[in-house]
Amino acid sequence: MTGLSNATLHKLPPEVLTPVYDRKSVFVGIAHIGVGNFHRAHQALYIDHILGRDGQKDWGIAGLGIRQGRREEERAEAFHRQDGMFTLTEFAPDNTSTIRAVGSVVRYVSCLDGYEPIIAQLADPAIRIVSLTITEGGYFVDGEGHFRLDDPFIAGDLKREVPESAFGLVTEALRRRRESGAGPFTVLCCDNLQHNGRVAQAAFCGFAEARDASLGAWIRENVSFPSCMVDRIAPSVTDEDIRRLDKESGVDDLMPVYSEDFIQWVIEDKFCAGRPEFEAVGVQMTENVEPYEQVKLRMLNAGHSVLAFCGLMLGYRKVDEAVGDARLIALLERFLNDDVAPLLSPPSDINLAAYAAQVVHRFRNHAVGDQLERIASDSFSKLPVFLGQTVHELIRKGSDTRREAFALACWAECECGKDGKGNPIEISEPAATDEQKAVFKDSNLLAVFDLPMFEGWGIADCQTFREMFRHYRSDIRSKGPARVLSTL
């Protein structure tokens, strides 16, 4: 098998697509924080296409790794050994695939060498966009849109001379840029949040204002924070996947990624320091992202979560297996079409019935075989974004909420660590404290609704919903999830 680096590009097997541009002629113009699977299967691919176009060579990506740990050590080593390249395999539903060596990440700066080089990279006047995928829970913004300055991680970073959080690093870089005259850059949040640009603005400005009021005001005035909707299913990559993908590609890649062939990016056109020719590679530029993001988060992401909780409870581990079960398909389709769709005001180019059918079709993609445990993880951060508004509106309208109550009952049972057959499930909840996780084992089955994540759902005042949820949870335990599902 051939290793992956600039020197070996011409030796890769012919079925592996390689950059159509000369990587040596690319300059860095984007810095990205959080170079995980999703970024590499999504934004890095779009930029790879951009770099192949005339006059677009100054939009290369500098990947920034800001979280210490074993994963960072592996990633930094792989980026270093492979000159920033990795293979991406995109699987179509008919199991055909396209394999490509993505070349857009032309530099990688790791915190393992300290945080100063990261700040220096961000402060480099060549950087005109700083994009981020730091997860839904990574912004420390509460339901009212306030940055949580009292969070110990944030409070600690505010005191550090050399900061380590995304907010601290960007703030310090902007301070230097203001001083040197290099000017602002655009901060582009690429996480699954509603009005993610506004959330990012609240977080970055909140941090900066606490550090230095005049700098905070300058950032508010000069830095743009466009919202965007990102969409592509990119599963976690296990060691076994690495072996499988490398065998298929014939490339000895330390960090291959894989995904579905579907991809979408809708961005609010608000860039304070210039931007690539996004339209030329299929990105939709718009004045208003909100209707797109509402559809995506409340249908695809929420549908994913509903399927994950109920599928796990029935004993499945993969998305394509779960949608192979007619009972779960029926649940998912009714959730999408009967519960969520009537609440949405989609943009004119989206037909919701067709969108729902496409979501189901995407979930059926066998080669993608996404992990239900991955999707169920971090629900403390995800559920308020994906499902909160839907439940709130259904309750307010007095509509049928059986499927939502059942999905949440399955979720609460999943969080107890076992599926409906008694087999272990592993769901990680990085945003939850141990005390919060203990509510799932409470003999009061309704104790979960006291968690702060349920603020604003309308459940506290809805006896019908609470009763239904309690009932479902206890029936799942006594009769099994399949019996309960058959009553919906």
Q: Residue numbers of the site for ligand CS2 (CB under 6 A)?
A: 192, 231-233, 301, 304, 375, 382
Q: How far is CA 190 from the centre of its chain?
A: 7
CB of 301 to ligand CS2, least distance (A): 4
- CB nearer to ligand CS2: pick between 108 and 278: 278
How far apart are alpha carbons 377 and 372 in whole angstroms?
9
Query: Closest distance between ligand CS2 and the C-beta of residue 300, in Å?
Result: 6
Instruction: Please tell me the distance from the alpha carbon of residue 352 to that of residue 333, in angstroms, as a whole number.
Output: 12
* Whether the Cβ atoms of residue 188 and residue 131 lie closer than 8 Å to each other: yes
And the tokens for 359? 């979501």
Give the residue with the Cβ less far from ligand CS2, 232 or 298: 232
Nearest to 336 by CA among 310, 307, 312: 307
Where do runs of H (alpha helix) occur along 191-301?
196-211, 213-222, 239-249, 290-295
The residue length of the chain stands at: 488
Residue number, nearest CB to ligand CS2:
304
- Tell me the closest approach of the beta carbon of residue 376 to ligand CS2, in angstroms: 8
The nearest distance, CB 336 to ligand CS2, in angstroms, is: 14
Q: How far apart are CB 235 and ligand CS2 at their closest, in Å?
A: 8
In angstroms, what is the minimal distance from the CB of 256 to ligand CS2?
18
Q: Provide the minimum distance between the beta carbon of 245 and ligand CS2 in the complex, in angstroms, as a whole number.
A: 18
Query: Which residue, 298 or 304, has its beta carbon nearer to ligand CS2?
Result: 304
Nearer to ligand CS2 (CB atom), residue 233 or residue 322: 233
Give the nearest distance from C-beta 358 to ligand CS2 in angstroms.
12
For residues 175 and 185, give the distance between their C-alpha atoms in angstroms, rounded to a whole number. Answer: 12
Compute the distance between CA of residue 487 and CA of residue 484 in angstroms, rounded to an integer: 5
111 versus 132: smaller Cβ distance to ligand CS2: 132
- Of the pair 231, 261, the CB lying nearest ligand CS2 is at 231
Residue 135 · residue 191 · CB < 8 Å: yes
In the complex with ligand CS2, the residue whose CB is nearer, 3 or 347, is 347
Residue nearer to ligand CS2 on the CB measure, 26 or 312:
312
CB of 82 to ligand CS2, least distance (A): 25
Closest by CA to 292, choosing from 197, 187, 391, is: 197
Residue with Cβ nearer ligand CS2 (136 or 419) = 136
Alpha carbon 357 to chain centroid, angstroms? 22
Buried b / exposed e along 134-154 (16+ C-beta atoms within 10 A): bbbbbbbbeeeeebeeeeeeb
456 neighbors 388 (Cβ within 8 angstroms): yes
Residues 6+ apart with CB under 8 A from 160: 168
Give the three-state DSSP class for 488: coil
Question: How many angstroms separate the CA atoms of 304 and 235, rounded?
Answer: 12
Residues 6+ apart with CB under 8 A from 437: 415, 429
